[in-house]
Structure 1
C-alpha cells in the first residue's frame, strides 16, 4: 500500500515540475524570439514549489531521506537504536502535526479575508493553498501512520524489525541504491530497443 502511495505522490510531484519546466521553456523562448512575456509563470512557479515541497516531505519520509545524525547509531545496542528510531518517528510526527495545525490557520485566514494573489491574475489564494494544504495533510497522516507502526512493532517485541524498517540509511545503503538505479537506467535503452 505504501509503495502505491509513494508512486502516486512521486508521479504528481514529477508532473508538477515537468509542466513547470515546459512553461518556463515556452516563456524563455517567447521572450527571446518574440519579445513576449507570459504573465503568471512566476506565480505558477511559486505555487508549484509550495505544493511540490509538501509532497517532497512525504517522499523523503517514505525513502528515509530526512537527515539524521547517525555516527553512533549503528554501534549502539538494539534497544537503544529502537528507542532512537522511535524518538525520530515521534519528533517527525510532532513536526508534521505542527505544520498541519499552522496550515489550518493559514487556510482559515485565507477564507476569512478572501485573499487573492498580488498579481495581475488576482488568483483567489484558496485554490493553490488547498493543494498545498492537502500535501501538508498527507505528510501529517503518513508521519502518524509510521509512528503507529513503529510503536506497534516495539510493543510487539519486534525490535529488530523496527530497527530494520526505521533506521537511518547508511552510506553503504545509499551507494547500493544509487548503483542499482544506475544499472536500471543503463538497461532501459536496451529494453526499449527490444520493444521497438
Structure 2
C-alpha cells in the first residue's frame, strides 16, 4: 500500500513539475523578449517582478517533486555507518524533522496570504499586482509539499513497523556522494 501511495504521488508530481517547468520556460521567454525589446528602445516592464513570482511558485511547488526524487540534501555521515534498520531510522528521523519544518512553513504562510486578501494588498511596483493572486498558489505549493512530506513519512513509518525497513531506502533514503560516483 505504501509503495502504491508513493507511486501515485510521483505521478502527480511529475505533472506538477512539468507545469512548473512550462511556467519557468514561459517566464524565460518573456524576459528574453523584454531584453530584445530593450535593444530597440522599448520594454514590456515588470519582468523582474514576474520572474520573482515565477521563482517563488517554482520553489514551493518543486519541493514535492524533489522530495520524491530524493533530491533534498542530507548529511549522512552517521547513516552510512549503520545497517539497514539503522539507516531506515535515520531516514525516518530526517523525514519527521523535515515534515515538521514544512508544516510550520505552510502554517506560517497562511497569515501572509490572509492579510493580503483582507487588505486587498498590491505589490509596491509599477504593475501593482494583487498579491493574493501570487500568494495563493505559492501557499498551495507549500501545503502540497507539507501534505506529501507527512504522507511519505507515515508510509515509511508504517513500513518500518511492519518489518520492511529495507524497502524504505528508495522511498526516503539518502544516496551518498560516493554511491553516485561509482
Structure 1 and Structure 2 fold alike (TM over 0.5): yes
Map Cα deviations across residues 66-86 of structure 1 (whole Å, 9 max, x no partner).
111112322202332121111
Map Cα deviations across residues 48-73 of structure 1 (whole Å, 9 max, x no partner).
01101112211211111111111232
**Runs of 5+ in structure 2 lacking a partner?**
1-7
Displacement after TM superposition at 1:173 (Å): 4.9
Distance 2:63 2:10 in 1: 16
Q: Paired residue for 1:129?
A: 135
Once the two structures are superposed, the pairs formed by residues 1-196 of structure 1 within 5 Å of their partners are 1-32=8-39, 34-171=40-177, 173-175=179-181
Displacement after TM superposition at 1:139 (Å): 0.6
What is the total number of aligned residue pairs between the two structures? 175
User: Where do 4+ consecutive residues of structure 1 move more than 3 Å?
Assistant: 172-176
1:137/1:171 CA distance change after superposition, 3 Å: same
Query: Any conservation in 1 of the 2:68–2:171 contact (CA below 8 Å)?
Result: no
Query: Any conservation in 2 of the 1:65–1:169 contact (CA below 8 Å)?
Result: no
Aligned-residue Cα RMSD (Å) equals: 1.5
SS at 2:148 equivalent: helix
Q: Paired residue for 1:180?
A: none
Displacement after TM superposition at 1:164 (Å): 4.2
**Runs of 5+ in structure 1 lacking a partner?**
177-196
Q: How high is the TM-score relative to the length of structure 1? A: 0.83
Distance 1:112 1:16 in 2: 28
SS at 2:123 equivalent: coil
